[in-house]
Structure 1
Amino acid sequence: MKALSILHSESSRGWGGQEVRTLKEMIALRALGHHVELVCPADAVMGARSQAEGFAVHHARIRSGFDVRSMLKIRSILVRGQFDVLNTHSGHDSLVAGMAGRLALTPLIVRTRHLALPITSLATYNRFPHRVVAVSRYVRDYLISAGVPENRVETIYDGIHKPAPIERSTLRDELGLGPDAVIAGIVAIMRGKKGHDELIAAVRPLMIERPHLHVAMVGDGQEFGRLQAMIAELGLSHRIHMLGFRKDVNNVLRGCDLFVLPTHQEALGQAFIEAMAMGLPVIGTRVDGVPELIDDGVNGLLVPAKDVAALSEAIAKLVDDAPLRARFGAACLARTDGHFTVDIMASETVDFYRRGLAARRESAARRWRAAA
């Protein structure tokens, strides 16, 4: 079957779950034999990391949704490259690159929706792309309710690579903790909606009666300094360990006993998937796409967002019950292996592209027959 030629566009200059998923998808599709390139602003982290992975990266400023200069440049890239698929990801590039794709007569234009936020422009889902990918059923249902035709949007879950075996984590040595310590891990950018404040409030009373309980916080962000100062003021710096940005996330997770992320908003939750793939029981909030990952009482526990008391109770339950942690962890492993792998994500994406291209060809053939 013919290999596909795919151009991804991304106007975001930062680095988060959306960009991580896109780069994983690019790498996976290339491994399947498809040709993949990227267009993004020159200062985008996504561009630098894609170049480091060996991808051809084109630069366009994409400063707004009405950046005509960038639109013409992307149109030229599409025409020269004769791409089969243009896949856009953020609001500005979905407008700019989407219009470029239409003018270049790109056979299939796809918009991926990564976020669980209200959409600001229905045109970036209905007018420019031919098809839409949603990263969770929650996001798909929302898009349909907002006016995207049901037959144009499909859920493709995020996938991760199966973690390499780690015989022994270095985390406990790093923190000076022995095997009796129970460590709850959290991996998230430090901003308000990830729930770090609720986590600190939830574990504070637990730590009085449970001297073996510790928390390992992985991540940086705008709230890092404030949270660090808060933890120091509470006298908990020796119990709540702020590890900052880490490249060895799996090593950290392997040293933990459970994972907790009391997020207020999450389209799906890549951090949950990574923790589940390491065999950790998980505690999450009953918001957006999170319940599609966590089956309450089967592979983890769900609590209402911003409910400190419920969060504290859930953490205590797992801290105090090692057999329950083991049972939930085994269920997490089974769930990720069967639903959330990069191979599954890549194969579903290629199938989605091929079906979209076939539908576009059939539609063009019908119009030709009608006009003949």
Structure 2
Amino acid sequence: MKPLRILHSESSNGWGGQEHRTFKEMLALRERGHDLELVCVPHARLGERLAGEGFTVHHVAMRSGADLSAVCAMRKILKHGRFDVLNTHSGRDSLLGGAAARVARTPLIARTRHLALAITSRATYTWLPHKVVAVSDWVRRYLVSEGVPQRDVVTIYTGIVRQPPVSRSTLRAELGLGDEAVIAGTVAILREKKGHADLIRVAGPLIEQRPNLHFVFAGDGPLFSEIEASVRAQGLASHIHFLGLRRDIPNVLAGFDLFVLPTYQEALGTSFIEAMAAGLPVIGTAVDGVPEVIEDGVNGLLVPAHDDRALAGALLHLIDSPDERRRMGNEGSRITRSRFSVDTMADEMIEFYRSSLAERGAMKRAGVHPHA
């Protein structure tokens, strides 16, 4: 079957879950024989990472959502590259790239929705793209409620790359902790909606009850200094440890006994998936797409958001139950091998592109032109 030519677009210059998924997806589809390129803003970290992997990366400024020079530049890239698909990811590149692809008559325009935030431009989900990919069923249902035709939205979960098992983590030696310590760990950017403050609020009483309990926060972010200062002020610094930004996440996760993140908002929850792949039981909140990752009582525990009592209870249950931790961790690891693998994501994206292209071709032959 003929390889697909796919152009991804991204107007963000940062690096988060959205960019990481695009990076993994492009690598996986290239391994399957398809041709992929990226158009992004200058100095975008995604562009730098993909260029380092040998991808062709085009740079367009994308100064605003009405930047006609950007539309012309992207149209030229699309026409010259004869792409089968344009897959957009953020608001600005969806506006500009979508308009460019319409003018260039690109056969398929798709947008991937990565976030649990309210949408700000319906046109970038209804009029400009032909199809939309949601990273969870929760996101898909939300988009349909906002007017995106149900037939035009598909859920494809974000997959992870399973890392080789870490024989022995260096984390405990780094923190001066022995094997008797129970470590409840978190890997997430330190910002309000991740719920670190909730975790710290319940930590004090729990540490008094279980002196061998330690919390470890990996990640940086806008609230790092504020949260760290709060921990010191409460006299909890000997039991709540801040690692900052880490590049050795598999090593860090291998040092945890359980993973906990009382997030307020999460389109899916890739950090939970990474922890599950490392064989950890997970505690999360029953918000947005998280229940699609955590099955309560099977691979972890779900609690209501902002419920300190429920969060403390879930923590105590796993702290005191090593056999339960082991059982849930094994089940989580099993789930990530299929439902949340990069291979599954890549295969489903290819099937999505091919079926969408075939559908559009059939409609054109029949003289039907929805979203033409």
Q: Output the TM-score relative to the length of structure 2.
A: 0.98
CA contact (8 A) 2:318 2:325 kept: yes
1:113-151 CA deviation, whole Å, 9 max, x = no partner?
Answer: 001111111110111111100000000011111100011
- Which AA in structure 2 matches 1:215? F
> Post-superposition shift, 1:338?
2.1
Q: After superposition, where does 1:112-151 map in structure 2 within 5 Å?
A: 112-151=112-151
2:283 aligns to what SS in structure 1? Answer: strand
- The CA deviation at 1:73 is 0.5
Unpaired runs of at least 5, structure 1: none
Question: 2:214 maps to what in 1?
Answer: 214
Structure 2 equivalent of residue 237 of structure 1:
237
Q: Distance in 1 between matches of 2:368 and 2:123?
A: 27
Q: Find the counterpart in structure 2 of residue 108 from structure 1.
A: 108
Map of 2:291 onto structure 1: 291
Given residue 314 of structure 2, which amino acid in structure 1 is its aligned partner? A
Q: After the TM superposition, which residues 240-279 of structure 1 pair with which residues of structure 2 at under 5 Å, given as runs?
A: 240-279=240-279
- Provide the TM-score with structure 1 as the length reference: 0.98
Which residue matches 2:281? 281
Partner residue of 2:317?
A: 317
Q: Secondary structure at the match of 1:129?
A: coil
Task: Tell me which amino acid in the other structure corresponds to 1:316.
Answer: L
Superposition map of 1:1-372 within 5 A: 1-367=1-367
CA distance in 2, matches of 1:362, 1:138: 30
CA distance in 1, matches of 2:307, 2:68: 47
Retained in 1: the 8 A contact 2:85–2:107? Answer: yes
Residue 31 of structure 1 aligns with an amino acid whose one-letter code is: E
For residues 324 and 63 of structure 1, the distance between their equivalents in structure 2, rounded to whole angstroms, comes to: 52
Q: Deviations over 1:240-270 (max 9, x none)?
A: 1100111110110011000001100000011
Mark the CA change 1:275 to 1:368 in structure 2 (over 3 Å): closer, same or farther.
closer
Which deviates more from structure 2 when the two are superposed, residues 42-51 or residues 264-273?
A: 42-51
Q: Deviations over 1:280-311 (max 9, x none)?
A: 00000000000001111111111111112211
Question: What SS does the corresponding residue of 1:243 show, helix, strand or coil?
Answer: strand
Q: Percent identity?
A: 58
Mapped to 2, the partners of 1:202 and 1:13 lie a distance apart of: 36
**Counterparts of 1:64 and 1:240, CA distance in 2:** 43
How far residue 216 of structure 1 moved from its aligned partner, in angstroms, is 1.1
Cα distance, 1:368 vs structure 2? 8.9
Stretches of structure 2 that go unaligned for 5 or more consecutive residues are: none
SS in 2 for 1:26: helix
| Shift >6 Å, 4+ stretches | none
Alignment-mate amino acid for residue 234 of structure 2: L
| Secondary structure in structure 2 of the residue aligned to 1:338 | coil
**Count, aligned residues:** 369
Q: Which amino acid aligns with 2:320?
A: D
Q: CA deviation at 1:63?
A: 2.4
Aligned partners of 2:252, 2:218: CA distance in 1, in Å?
A: 8
Cα distance in 1, alignment partners of residues 164 and 368 from structure 2: 53
Write the distance in 1 (CA, Å) between the matches of 2:240 and 2:341.
Answer: 31
